[in-house]
Each structure stands twice: as structure tokens, then as C-alpha cells.
Structure 1
Amino acid sequence: MSKTLRARGNAVVAALAMSVSLYGSAGACTIGEEAEIELPFNTTALTSANKHAITIALIEAKKWPDVQIQAVIMAGAYTAERNMDQLKEGRAKNVKAYLQELGISSENILIEKHTFTDEMAVKRPDGTLGYRQVFVEFTPICKGSCAWMCDDPRVTPHSRVINP
């Protein structure tokens, strides 16, 4: 997992822990699916493997009952790549177009653009570095709160309700 996503996860855990200390107990969990995409340097086109990863994450998200799905695209480029702004834009555009092909409404797609450094690369088991330039995070859109999903047996949350 990238440092960016690890930091985001740590922030969620910290927020839940703080809510427990301030309010006694927290009645929340996190629900989401992610796809991490590695592209060849200086390219924007999605490979079939990239599309497969996005599709698998979306299939899991579509199992959530009675909600719409929001997709957040974190499109980035590494400092070692050429034309970083064009790469970020092209990667975001290509992923958004693919998500729309899969049925995600344009208004439910958010885009964040990032610049990544070599320190953010992921070390593979063989010792080489993996440069993931795009992350797609699917989250539910609920009327009111999504808290009911924490206890729904059809949903597998990625964190559990915190009870003191």
C-alpha cells in the first residue's frame, strides 16, 4: 500500500479513536473498495490488467445494497516521468472514461491529481520497485448516513464498529 493511502487509513483510524474518546463510543465503520494501477512510465493508456483490477473492485462495490457508488480517482505522476501535468490529466481522463463505460455516473466521479516521489514507490517481493500512478476508490453514497451498512450482513466493512 502506498504511503498516501496508508496515511489516509491512519487518519481514519485516528478520527474513529478520537470520536470514541470524545463521545464514548463510535458507531461507524469504513466501507470501500480500491484498485491500484501501475502504468508504464510516461504513458496514460490503461492496460487490460488495469481495467481488470478496476472492474473487480467495482464488482465488489456493486454488491452493496440500495446505494449509489462514488468513485474517487487519484491520478498521479512520478517526479521521474516527463510531462507530469499531462500524464495526470490523461490518466484521470482515461480512468474516468472507463468508469463511465462501466456505468458510474459522471457526477459520481471525483478526481484528485498528485505528484509522487520515488519514496512512494512500493517494493515488490522480488526487490524491484512498483510505481502505482492511479488509485481508484469506490465508496457508497447513501441517503443520510451509511452507518446502517456496518451491521448489514450483505456488506463486508473494512473496519469494525468501535465499542469501548
Structure 2
Amino acid sequence: MIKKFRSSISLALAVAALSICPSAIACTINESMETRLPLNSTYLANDDRLAIANIVLEARQWPDVDIQAVVIAGAYVGERNVEKLKSERGAVVRAYLIQLGIKPQNVLIEPKTLTDQMVKNDDGTLNLHQIAIELVPLCSGGCEKLCNDPRVTPKSRAIQ
């Protein structure tokens, strides 16, 4: 789910950068994770909390930037009280990210209702990830400087 979302955003940002300034340098820098929760639950297991903490620790290595968290808080149509689940899941993840030091104004929650077409495999089994988090840098004056910084591992190569 987040992979399609991430690659579309990355491509759009790279194309926009190149169209604004033909000699621009762009690369993709992010940390992400997704997790499955028990149906009808808002509980983040310790493994989930560790995975979130790990991506925050990786993102903290980005020099001279703020970190923005984009959280997809989903609920599957087969769960009870979908709207409440989306809201509560988003709130739980938001609170944890803030506890880890992400600024509250930099945590964006996107509630999403997950349909069968989105989460069912060809054999009918569910491939359900109700929570997806992507951390991206917020840079004053642009993030191009991160593309060649040895402290940063871009997720894609530089585009010139």
C-alpha cells in the first residue's frame, strides 16, 4: 500500500525538481515501515514500537533537518467500527511518534478505509497492513544537500 504511494510521490517530486531547475539534483530520502494489527485492535505490540523507534533513530541521523511523519491509519472494511478504528490507530501512532521526539505539527495522519480490492491476494487471503509510516526530511532551503552527504543513505540514486 505505502510502496505505491511512496514511489508515486518520489517520482512526482523528482519530476517537479527537474522541471523547475533543469540542473537540479534530487534523490529519495525516507524511512518507512508498515505493520499488521489484530483485527478490531488499536494495540501496538512491542515489535511494532521497536520498528517505529528504529526508523526514527535512522531518520535522526539526517543532518540539520526536521522529521515529518506521514501515517496511514487504516481499517479494513471487515472490521467493526471502521471510522473509530482509523481515528484511534492514528492517535496511538501519533502519540508514540511525539513521545519519540517528532514535533506534533510534523505528524500527519491520513485515515484510510482498506477494501478487499486493496488487501486481498489472488488466492483470497488478506495481506493487511493497517498502519504505514513514512518519515521524510523537512529541510530549510531544500534537501538537495542530503543527496551527497555521507551521513545519509538515500533510497534512490541522485537524478541530475
TM-score between the two structures when normalised by the length of structure 1? 0.85
Equivalent residue, structure 2, for 1:136:
133
Structure 2 residue 57 is matched with structure 1 residue 74: no
Give the Cα–Cα distance (whole angstroms) in 1 for the partners of residues 74 and 21 of structure 2.
Answer: 37
Shift of 1:23: 5.9
Structure 1 residue ranges, 4+ long, deviating more than 2 angstroms after superposition: 10-26, 118-123, 127-130
TM-score between the two structures when normalised by the length of structure 2? 0.87
Shift of 1:108: 1.4
Give the Cα–Cα distance (whole angstroms) in 1 for the partners of residues 47 and 13 of structure 2.
Answer: 35
Paired residues of 1:37 and 1:53 also in contact (CA < 8 A): no
Structure 2 residue 97 is matched with structure 1 residue 99: yes
Structure 2 residue 76 is matched with structure 1 residue 88: no
Shift of 1:47: 0.8
Q: Percent identity?
A: 46
What's the Cα RMSD here? 2.2
Equivalent residue, structure 1, for 2:117:
119
Amino acid corresponding to residue 57 of structure 1 in structure 2: I
Question: Superposition pairs for residues 1-164 of structure 1, below 5 Å?
Answer: 2=1, 4-13=2-11, 16-17=14-15, 20=18, 24-121=22-119, 129-163=126-160
Task: Give the 3-state SS of the residue equivalent to 1:130 in structure 2.
Answer: coil
Aligned length: 158
Q: Which ranges of structure 2 fall in alignment gaps of 5 or more residues? A: none
**Could you give the per-residue CA deviations for residues 110-134 of structure 1, whole angstroms, max 9, x where no partner exists?**
11111112232276xxx95331001
